[in-house]
């Protein structure tokens, strides 16, 4: 009997030795290999310019904070190159506050997955500066699309190879890869135009024709500004504009460029086309029966004007009378301001002599 108890105690002792508290080390190791957003951007050869900007702005550690959640919009190096930023030293030209504001524009304080965004245009999410960014997803049966601030997000095949995804998931963030830079300004459209030396002729024209105040008061507003080179190629300088008598011209001469209440990025036409299953221009009925047309992915990016009879009246030679789109200046679109969007046209859509009373 005593022997039996001895054996039992020994057995219990041995059993106790066999006990083990698993801590699932292997799982921890697996998850620790996923990087934080800062490291991911820093280690990616396509994002070296953005990584440099993040570091210069002092936000690298912020993006590596393991306890935080971010959505980071990361423009590729090509996107910065198109915006004339070719090397990391180009960021030195920016005042540090401006650079920090710019980088913070690209960071949102929550994780926003493509599939979690409502299926409609213009979902607003604030970035680190507190400025709302416009997210527009489309998830169709055959085709998806995703724009942020009017810029397309790069889609790629998911790991299973059976669908397009727009999310790069890191430990503390979701990253959306952008094919172009975004332009987010805290100022009004009026302040934006006033601060641009290349729009001074157009600003003078809006003041002369009584449209200047609407750049501050209208909301939402889409402004199709004409660059100085476009104005001056047609003989319109700030001085000559001030010599025009507004009473002698149909208001459409300049009113068509100021459209409200509309908030249209260039790629919105593509997104509307996907949602409505049609490729339509934006047609704005305007002063005197004219219609101001904004075209996008289907007809070339730009604008044109039709007279009340539907005839093209633009300055571009059109042998058969078909509308010719006046294009935007390269990388001159989708400047988001607090009360609207600005696109910069390379030319007028109608010459003064065409709308002279």
Partner 1 sequence: MRMITYTGLLAVLLLCGCRKVTYNTISNPAYFRFFNSLNYSITPATKDEPQPYLAMVVDPTFDANGVVNGGAVLGDFLDQRLAYAPPYPANAGNTSSDNYEYPGSEKVLVGPILNGFDLSSWAQITSGKHRFVFYSRPVSQTPFFQLAAAQRKFAFADTTVDLAEGEVYTMELLQKDVYSSPIPISFYMRHEQFTKLPFDDSLCYVNFYNLSAAGFSAQAVAALGTAGGGSSIRDTMNVFLTLYFPDSVAGPGSNVVPGYQYVPLTSVIRSYASGVAPYTSFPIFPSYQGSDSTDIHSKIWEEFMFLSPDYNPSAGNFPSYSNSQGDYAVLACTAEYYTKQTFVGPPHNDAYWSPNLIITIPSGTYSARSYSSISSVEMINGHAYVMSVQRQYAPPVESY
User: Which residues make up the interface to partner 1 (CB under 8 A)?
Assistant: 116-124, 220, 261-264, 268-269, 272, 275-276, 280-284, 294
Q: Which C-beta is closer to partner 1: that of 149 or that of 268? A: 268
Least distance CB 124 / partner 1 (angstroms) = 7
Whole-angstrom distance, CA of residue 107 vs CA of residue 38: 11
Whole-angstrom distance, CA of residue 147 vs CA of residue 121: 9
Q: Which C-beta is closer to partner 1: that of 100 or that of 263? A: 263
Least distance CB 132 / partner 1 (angstroms) = 9
Burial-class residue 32 by CB neighbours within 10 Å (0-12, 13-18, 19+): exposed
Q: Which C-beta is closer to partner 1: that of 10 or that of 283? A: 283
Q: Which C-beta is closer to partner 1: that of 94 or that of 125? A: 125
- Structure letter (DSSP) for residue 249: B
Least distance CB 220 / partner 1 (angstroms) = 6
Strand 123-126 and strand 107-108: pairing?
unpaired
Per-position b or e across 243-274, b if 16+ CB within 10 A of its CB: ebeeeebbbbbbbbbbbbeebbbbbbbbbbbb
Least distance CB 38 / partner 1 (angstroms) = 27
Q: Which C-beta is closer to partner 1: that of 123 or that of 164? A: 123
Q: Which C-beta is closer to partner 1: that of 40 or that of 135? A: 135
Whole-angstrom distance, CA of residue 74 vs CA of residue 177: 5
Integer angstrom CA distances of residue 263 from 17, 222, 291, 310: 71, 5, 17, 24
CB 125 within 8 A of CB 106: no
Whole-angstrom distance, CA of residue 352 vs CA of residue 357: 10
Least distance CB 149 / partner 1 (angstroms) = 15
Q: Which C-beta is closer to partner 1: that of 215 or that of 272? A: 272
Q: Cis omega before residue 262 (within 30°)?
A: no
Residues 6 or more apart in contact with residue 184 via CB below 8 angstroms: 105, 127, 129, 131, 133, 149, 336
Q: Which C-beta is closer to partner 1: that of 48 or that of 139? A: 139
Q: Which C-beta is closer to partner 1: that of 110 or that of 242? A: 110
Least distance CB 19 / partner 1 (angstroms) = 38
Whole-angstrom distance, CA of residue 140 vs CA of residue 123: 17
Least distance CB 311 / partner 1 (angstroms) = 15
Least distance CB 109 / partner 1 (angstroms) = 13
Q: Cis omega before residue 220 (within 30°)?
A: yes
Q: Which C-beta is closer to partner 1: that of 133 or that of 204? A: 133
Least distance CB 72 / partner 1 (angstroms) = 20
Nearest CA-CA partner of 243 in 282, 204, 210:
204
Least distance CB 216 / partner 1 (angstroms) = 18
What is the DSSP annotation of 257-301? TEETT----TTHHHHHHHHHTS---EEEE-GGG-EEEEE-TTT-S
Burial-class residue 180 by CB neighbours within 10 Å (0-12, 13-18, 19+): buried
């Amino acid at each position: 009997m005593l022997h039996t108890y001895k054996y039992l105690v020994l057995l219990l002792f041995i059993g106790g030795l066999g006990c083990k508290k698993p801590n699932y080390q292997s799982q921890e190791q697996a998850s620790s290999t996923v990087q934080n957003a800062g490291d991911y951007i820093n280690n990616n050869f396509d994002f070296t310019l953005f990584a440099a900007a993040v570091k210069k702005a002092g936000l690298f550690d912020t993006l590596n904070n393991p306890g935080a959640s971010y959505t980071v919009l990361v423009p590729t190096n090509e996107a910065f190159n198109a915006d004339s930023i070719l090397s990391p030293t180009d960021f030195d030209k920016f005042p540090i506050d401006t650079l920090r504001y710019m980088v913070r524009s690209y960071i949102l304080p929550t994780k926003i997955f493509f599939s979690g965004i409502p299926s409609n245009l213009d979902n607003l999410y604030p970035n680190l500066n507190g400025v709302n960014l416009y997210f527009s997803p489309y998830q169709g049966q055959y085709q998806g699309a995703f724009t942020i601030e009017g810029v397309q997000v790069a889609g790629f095949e998911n790991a299973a190879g059976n669908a397009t995804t727009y999310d790069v998931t890191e430990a503390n963030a979701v990253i959306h890869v952008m094919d172009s830079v975004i332009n987010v300004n805290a100022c009004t459209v009026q302040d934006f135009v006033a601060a641009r030396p290349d729009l001074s002729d157009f600003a003078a024209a809006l003041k002369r024709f009584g449209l200047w105040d609407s750049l501050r008061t209208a909301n939402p507003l889409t402004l199709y500004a004409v660059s100085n080179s476009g104005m001056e190629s047609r003989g319109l300088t700030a001085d000559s504009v001030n010599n025009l008598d507004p009473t002698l011209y149909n208001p459409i001469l300049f009113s068509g460029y100021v459209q409200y209440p509309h908030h249209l990025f260039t790629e919105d036409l593509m997104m509307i086309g996907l949602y409505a299953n049609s490729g339509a221009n934006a047609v704005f009925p305007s002063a005197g029966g004219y219609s101001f047309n904004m075209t996008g992915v289907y007809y070339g990016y730009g604008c044109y004007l039709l007279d009340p009879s539907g005839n093209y009246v633009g300055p571009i030679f059109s042998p058969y009378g078909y509308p010719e789109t006046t294009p935007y200046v390269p990388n001159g679109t989708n400047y988001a301001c607090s009360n609207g969007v600005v696109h910069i046209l390379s030319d007028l859509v109608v010459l003064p002599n065409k709308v002279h009373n």
